[in-house]
């Protein structure tokens, strides 16, 4: 069986095999690789290598650091097909969707190609008599990123591209469920010209995550995953004095107004609810029609379209989505479907019991649709993270805004309407970090930034964009004066200096 090992000194480390995890092919339901799982000693050694390598990388002028990312862009484009197939084979998403995962990370690589400009500081000439003030952004040193299974290319690139471009050394701890693409990205970074140990990949689970959080040499940690773990990681990291940025789970609502373009809204909701088998933090698993007539019309249009959706293996070019990531996750989603029935929601379409010929052991689920879901239900408040769409009927825009605003998660939200005033009101009022107006998956472009509110994000800086640059640097401000030294009046003061 294929083995996946840590990556340091510019190459894959020898496979230790001491403590390993299994990496499955979700379409077949069988393990396809074994991955090494690090302990604290492995992590501590990675931090020491990173500390030794980082000063020389930070001392390179930013234009030369940027050139590594120009090269990386070309290499990722060269290997796009191979990367997408590898990603899909471990994650379960279809290959076309895997390319989107890589492309979204590539967008951040393109953004950091402008790092010389992004790092420019501020300057004030003559802030006082013969006094000038300037500020600069300096890297933190050694930083780390811990990433989830559902975007094994995009999310590592969200973190490592700005961190490294800013002059840090970066240790990536990817999800142990689909760790191959992160290692490939490290190999491509090496090929692009990155010096050894500026990027290392260390695989593992809670043991290595705790080691990252406890190692004083790691100055900042970026985490993306489920909310309980994000909160735990945030608290432990902050208690250790680190800069932390921890993104959590989601339950994004799509509000459908009576004046919405229903054909477009239905097409958008289908893709956003069921694409990637619903395993996206920016999926749209809750639809909130405003008014009974809108709800009935939407339901009538959704049902035949959902029944047409094709579930297939990752390389099936006609499949809308593939298997979910693991047997445990499939069972968890099925439990939530049963819970929804038991809680009294109407299960309009039941996706359980689906079997794909030739892939009977795969983790497939057909799409499910619930109607008459209420805010009191646990299936509404929890993140299901599967191909399950829940309809919550509301009677007014205010009620719909209140639903999204009061939910424990506040990652993304969308409104479908032709009414600019309603859309504007909605965008202003709703307590959610990323808003789509007739856009079902409002993931901001790489030169803005990504972040949810409430239990979807702990910490105060977003991923990528200028917040990425801010997160991975600290500001130093210099106040300088050059006395003439000609024996004139020497200025002395025992009061706090002011610029007079
Ligand atoms: P997860 O929380 O299980 O794992 C995330 C990371 O934490 C992994 O690297 C994992 O190894 C590590 N981990 C797991 N258990 C741990 C523990 N007890 N202590 C310390 N570390 C631990 O998440 P997942 O299942 O890989 O990913 C899906 C989740 O991520 C969903 O909740 C989804 O909404 C969320 N997500 C959020 C965003 C966002 O930007 N808000 C983006 C993508 C995914």
Inside any domain, residue 325: yes
pLDDT in tens, 58-79: 999 999 999 999 999 999 999 9
Q: Residue range 293-315: average pLDDT?
A: 98
Whole-number Å distance, alpha carbon 477 to ligand 1 midpoint, is: 37
Mean pLDDT of the chain, nearest integer: 97
pLDDT of the residue at 489: 67
Which of 26, 144, 148, 204 has most ligand 1 atoms within 8 Å of CB, for mutation? 148
Whole-number Å distance, alpha carbon 252 to ligand 1 midpoint, is: 17
d(CA 208, CA 31): 22
Q: Whose CA is nearest to atom 30 of ligand 1?
A: 225
* Same domain? 234 vs 297: no
Whole-number Å distance, alpha carbon 428 to ligand 1 midpoint, is: 30
Whole-number Å distance, alpha carbon 483 to ligand 1 midpoint, is: 56
Whole-number Å distance, alpha carbon 149 to ligand 1 midpoint, is: 7
Q: Whose CA is nearest to atom 18 of ligand 1?
A: 206
Q: Which ligand 1 atom sits closest to the C-alpha of 383?
A: 32
Inside any domain, residue 73: yes
Q: Whose CA is nearest to atom 34 of ligand 1?
A: 249
* Same domain? 290 vs 238: no
Q: Break the chain down into helix, strand, coil percent, rounded to 5.
A: 40, 20, 40
Look up 166 and say whether it is catalytic. no
Confidence of residue 406 (pLDDT cuts 50, 70, 90): very high
Strand extents, DSSP E, 372-472? 388-391, 409-410, 412-416, 434-437, 453-454, 457-458
**Structure tokens belonging to residue 121:** 């500081």
Q: What is the DSSP string of 229-276?
A: HHHHHHHHHHHTT-EEEEE-----EEEE-TTS-HHHHHHHHHHHHHGG
DSSP-based three-state secondary structure for 172: strand
Among 409, 437, 465, the domain-final residue is: 437
Q: Whose CA is nearest to atom 20 of ligand 1?
A: 206
CATH code: domain of residue 14: 3.40.605.10
d(CA 457, CA 223): 10
pLDDT of the residue at 77: 98
pLDDT of the residue at 483: 83
d(CA 119, CA 117): 6
* Same domain? 207 vs 287: no
* Same domain? 234 vs 258: no
Q: Which ligand 1 atom sits closest to the C-alpha of 457?
A: 41
d(CA 266, CA 392): 15
Which of 90, 155, 158, 225 has most ligand 1 atoms within 8 Å of CB, for mutation? 225
Q: Which ligand 1 atom sits closest to the C-alpha of 149?
A: 26
What are the residues facing 412 on neighbouring strands? 434
pLDDT of the residue at 468: 98
* Same domain? 147 vs 165: yes
d(CA 405, CA 420): 20
Complex ipTM tops 0.95: yes
Inside any domain, residue 215: yes
Q: Within 10 Å of residue 423's Cβ, how many Cβ atoms?
A: 20
Strand 20-25 to 286-289 pairing: unpaired
Q: Which ligand 1 atom sits closest to the C-alpha of 225?
A: 30
Whole-number Å distance, alpha carbon 34 to ligand 1 midpoint, is: 20
pLDDT in tens, 186-237: 999 999 999 999 999 999 999 999 999 999 999 999 999 999 999 999 999 9
CATH code: domain of residue 291: 3.40.309.10
Q: Within 10 Å of residue 380's Cβ, how many Cβ atoms?
A: 21
* Same domain? 219 vs 261: no
Whole-number Å distance, alpha carbon 146 to ligand 1 midpoint, is: 8
pLDDT of the residue at 48: 98
Q: How many domains does the chain have?
A: 2
Q: Which ligand 1 atom sits closest to the C-alpha of 229?
A: 2
Strand 218-224 to 243-247 pairing: parallel
Residues with Cβ within 6 A of ligand 1?
A: 146-151, 173, 175-176, 205-206, 209, 224-226, 229, 233, 247-250, 281, 383, 385, 411, 452, 456
Inside any domain, residue 443: no
* Same domain? 320 vs 413: yes
Q: What is the domain extent for residue 56?
A: 2-248+456-478
Confidence of residue 499 (pLDDT cuts 50, 70, 90): confident
d(CA 279, CA 295): 25
> 126: closest CA among 481, 475, 478?
481
Whole-number Å distance, alpha carbon 161 to ligand 1 midpoint, is: 20
Confidence of residue 496 (pLDDT cuts 50, 70, 90): confident
pLDDT in tens, 278-288: 999 999 999 99
For residue 251, how far is the Cα from the chain centroid? 15
* Same domain? 212 vs 286: no
Inside any domain, residue 498: no
Whole-number Å distance, alpha carbon 463 to ligand 1 midpoint, is: 15
* pLDDT over 90 at 458, yes or no: yes
**Structure tokens belonging to residue 457:** 């994000």
Q: Which ligand 1 atom sits closest to the C-alpha of 226?
A: 32
Cα separation of the two ends of the chain: 73
Strand 199-201 to 131-139 pairing: unpaired
d(CA 70, CA 192): 8
* pLDDT over 70 at 294, yes or no: yes
* Same domain? 160 vs 244: yes
Q: Of the residues 113, 166, 246, 281, which is catalytic? A: 281
Inside any domain, residue 337: yes
User: Do 449 and 462 form a contact (C-beta atoms < 8 A)?
Assistant: yes
Q: Whose CA is nearest to atom 26 of ligand 1?
A: 148
Strand 199-201 to 218-224 pairing: unpaired
**At how many degrees (to 10) do helices 420-429 and 397-406 cross?**
30
User: CA separation (Å) from 115 to 146, 154, 285, 450?
Assistant: 23, 19, 37, 18
**92-111 in b/e burial notation, b at 16+ Cβ within 10 A?**
bbbbebbbbbbebbbbbbeb
Query: What is the number of residues in the chain?
Result: 500
* pLDDT over 80 at 491, yes or no: no
d(CA 98, CA 100): 5
Strand extents, DSSP E, 163-257? 169-173, 199-201, 218-224, 243-247, 253-256
* Same domain? 141 vs 205: yes
Q: Whose CA is nearest to atom 42 of ligand 1?
A: 281
* Same domain? 269 vs 326: yes
Report the chain's C-alpha Rg in angstroms: 25
* Cα-based torsion angle of the residue sequence 183, 164, 158, 408 in order, rounded to the nearest 10 degrees: 110
Q: Whose CA is nearest to atom 9 of ligand 1?
A: 175
d(CA 432, CA 429): 9
Confidence of residue 485 (pLDDT cuts 50, 70, 90): confident
* Same domain? 219 vs 259: no
Whole-number Å distance, alpha carbon 158 to ligand 1 midpoint, is: 15
> 198: closest CA among 52, 72, 342, 334?
52
> 423: closest CA among 259, 273, 302, 250?
259
Which of 226, 231, 458, 465 has most ligand 1 atoms within 8 Å of CB, for mutation? 226
Inside any domain, residue 447: no
**Structure tokens belonging to residue 414:** 């969308």
Inside any domain, residue 109: yes
């Amino acid at each position: 069986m294929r083995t996946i090992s840590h990556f340091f000194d510019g190459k894959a480390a020898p496979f230790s095999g001491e403590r390993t995890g299994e990496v499955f092919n979700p379409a077949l339901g069988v393990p396809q690789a074994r991955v090494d799982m690090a302990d604290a000693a492995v992590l501590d050694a990675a931090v020491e290598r990173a500390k030794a390598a980082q000063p020389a990388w930070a001392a390179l002028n930013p234009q030369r650091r940027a050139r590594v990312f120009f090269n990386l862009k070309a290499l990722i484009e060269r290997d796009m097909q191979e990367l997408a197939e590898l990603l899909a084979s471990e994650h379960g998403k279809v290959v076309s969707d895997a390319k989107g995962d890589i492309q979204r990370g590539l967008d951040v690589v393109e953004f950091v190609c402008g790092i010389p400009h992004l790092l420019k500081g501020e300057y004030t000439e003559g802030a006082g008599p013969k006094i000038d003030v300037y500020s600069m952004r300096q890297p933190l040193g050694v930083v780390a990123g811990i990433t989830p299974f559902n975007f094994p290319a995009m999310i590592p690139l969200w973190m490592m591209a700005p961190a490294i471009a800013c002059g840090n050394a970066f240790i990536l701890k990817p999800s142990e469920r689909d760790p191959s693409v992160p290692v490939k990205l490290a190999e491509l970074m090496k090929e692009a010209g990155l010096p050894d140990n500026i990027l290392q990949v260390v695989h593992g689970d809670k043991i290595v995550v705790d080691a990252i959080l406890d190692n004083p040499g790691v100055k900042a940690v970026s985490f993306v995953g489920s909310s309980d773990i994000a909160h735990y990681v945030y608290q432990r990291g902050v208690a250790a004095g680190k800069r932390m940025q921890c993104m959590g789970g989601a339950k994004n609502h799509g509000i459908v107004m009576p004046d919405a373009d229903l054909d477009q809204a239905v097409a958008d909701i289908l893709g956003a609810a069921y694409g990637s088998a619903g395993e996206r933090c920016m999926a749209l698993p809750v639809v909130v029609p405003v008014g009974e007539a809108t709800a009935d019309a939407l339901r009538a249009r959704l049902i035949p379209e959902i029944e047409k959706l094709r579930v297939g293996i990752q390389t099936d070019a006609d499949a809308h989505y593939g298997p979910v990531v693991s047997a445990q996750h499939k069972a968890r989603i099925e439990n939530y479907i049963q819970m929804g029935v038991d809680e009294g929601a109407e299960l309009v379409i039941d996706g359980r019991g689906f079997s794909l010929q030739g892939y009977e052991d795969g983790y497939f689920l057909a799409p499910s649709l619930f109607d008459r879901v209420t805010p009191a239900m646990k299936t509404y408040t929890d993140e299901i993270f599967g191909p399950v769409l829940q309809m919550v009927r509301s009677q007014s825009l205010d009620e719909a805004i209140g639903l999204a605003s009061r939910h424990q998660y506040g990652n993304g939200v969308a409104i479908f309407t032709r009414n600019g005033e309603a859309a504007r009101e909605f965008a202003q009022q709703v307590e959610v970090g990323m808003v789509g107006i007739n856009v079902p998956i409002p993931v901001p472009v790489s030169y803005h930034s990504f972040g949810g509110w409430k239990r979807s994000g702990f910490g105060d800086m977003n991923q990528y964009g200028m917040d990425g640059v801010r997160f991975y640097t600290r500001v130093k401000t210099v106040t300088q004066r050059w006395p003439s030294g000609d024996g004139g009046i020497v200025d002395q003061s025992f009061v706090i200096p002011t610029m007079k």
